[in-house]
């Protein structure tokens, strides 16, 4: 039920859906007295949410700054959301695969002794295997022995990632400190959920969608409709972080 609710909320807050709604209302021209205001709102929203420079500034302020991992940790925690399955059940890494790379490096370099993979079946197709199963197999193929890998396969949301990981840690009597690897955009909300579950972590962000560089002049004036999906995901993270903070 929660994944369906989450997808509904994401649909409702999507800037693209609001732009489409305003465009439909404008074309219908009803009520007539609001048509001009609707047109202005449509232009304003479209410019704002398709402007690469505005998204760059916003996401740079939201995501944590990159810091090299130092110290020694008992385990690195790797939440799901980095892979998926096709209709035949074949696993594939997605755009967040840098999470896997960074988590693997932490173990290989000795920064973390073990790795905890948390992620069940968060897909609408309930017949697909848990995500953590695929990730564990890939970790072993990349040289990490199974004795160093612990998996949690029941969670379907970030909050469940944290709650079920807490149960796993307690059952194994694992002691911290723990280092958390997830996408930079997702880190604030993810780390808060783990803290709420009683697992303090050190953040090690990955999969940066914007880096501390500079903007071209045309990024301020030339629209990029690919930004709409990025805004959708960022707004979802901010809303989730606010709710988890209450």
* 126 pLDDT above the threshold of 70: no
- The band of 136, judged by pLDDT with boundaries at 50, 70 and 90, is very high
| pLDDT computed for residue 59 by the predictor | 96
Distance in Å from the first CA to the final CA of the chain? 22
Average pLDDT over residues 146-169: 96
H runs (alpha helix) in 63-108: 98-108
What was the pLDDT predicted at 2? 47
Name residue, tokens 């072993």.
Answer: 140
Q: Do 165 and 77 touch, CB atoms closer than 8 A? A: yes
Q: Which residues contact 13 (CB under 8 A, 6 or more apart)?
A: 232, 235, 236, 239
> What are the pLDDT digits (tens) for 22-47?
999 898 876 778 888 999 999 999 99
Q: Where are the domains of the chain?
A: 2-63+225-245, 73-206
Residue 212, pLDDT score: 74
What does the pLDDT read at residue 128? 78
**Nearest one of 14, 1, 6, 10 to 158, comparing CA atoms:** 6
Q: Which residue has the higher pLDDT, 11 or 118?
A: 118
pLDDT in tens, 195-225: 999 999 999 999 999 887 767 777 788 899 9
Beta bridge partners of 75: 114, 178
Q: Is 93 helix (H, G, I), strand (E, B) or coil?
A: strand
Q: Which two tokens stand for residue 87?
A: 């209709």
Band of residue 87 on the pLDDT scale cut at 50, 70, 90? confident
The closest alpha carbon to 217, from 71, 51, 84, belongs to: 51
Q: H or E stretch including 26?
A: helix 15-28
H-helix or E-strand spanning residue 61: helix 52-62
Q: Which pLDDT tens digit goes with each residue over 168-192?
A: 999 999 998 999 999 999 999 999 9
Dump pLDDT digits (tens) for 59-68: 999 999 988 9
How far apart CA 150 and CA 136 sit, in angstroms, is 8
Q: Which of 174, 79, 70, 87 is nearest to 131 (CA)?
A: 79
Rounded distance, CA 202 to CA 42, Å?
A: 42
Tell me which architecture the domain covering 73-206 has in CATH. Answer: 3-Layer(aba) Sandwich (3.40)
DSSP 129-159: PPHHHHHHHHHHHTT--GGGEEEE----SHH
pLDDT at position 216? 78
Q: Taking Cα atoms as reference points, which of 112, 151, 158 lies closest to residue 131? A: 151
């Amino acid at each position: 039920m929660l994944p369906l609710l989450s997808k509904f909320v994401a649909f409702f807050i999507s800037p693209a859906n609001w732009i489409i709604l305003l465009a439909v209302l404008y074309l219908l021209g009803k009520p007539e007295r609001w048509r001009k205001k609707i047109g202005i709102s449509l232009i304003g929203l479209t410019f704002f949410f398709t402007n690469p420079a505005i998204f760059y500034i916003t996401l740079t302020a939201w995501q944590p700054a990159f810091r090299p991992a130092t110290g020694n940790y008992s385990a690195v925690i790797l939440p799901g959301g980095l892979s998926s399955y096709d209709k035949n059940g074949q696993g594939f890494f997605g755009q967040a695969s840098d999470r896997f790379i960074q988590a693997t490096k932490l173990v290989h370099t000795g920064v973390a002794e073990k790795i905890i993979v948390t992620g069940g079946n968060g897909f609408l197709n309930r017949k697909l295997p848990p995500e953590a199963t695929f990730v564990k197999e890939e970790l072993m193929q990349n040289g990490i022995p199974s004795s160093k890998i612990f998996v949690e396969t029941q969670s379907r949301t970030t909050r469940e990632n944290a709650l079920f990981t807490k149960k796993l840690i307690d059952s194994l009597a694992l002691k911290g400190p723990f280092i958390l690897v997830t996408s930079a955009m997702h880190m604030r909300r993810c780390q808060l959920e783990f803290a709420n579950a009683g697992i303090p972590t050190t953040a090690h962000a990955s999969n940066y969608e914007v880096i501390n560089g500079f903007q071209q002049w045309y990024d301020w004036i030339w629209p990029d409709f690919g930004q709409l999906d990025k805004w959708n995901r960022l707004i979802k993270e901010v809303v989730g972080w606010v709710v988890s903070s209450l």
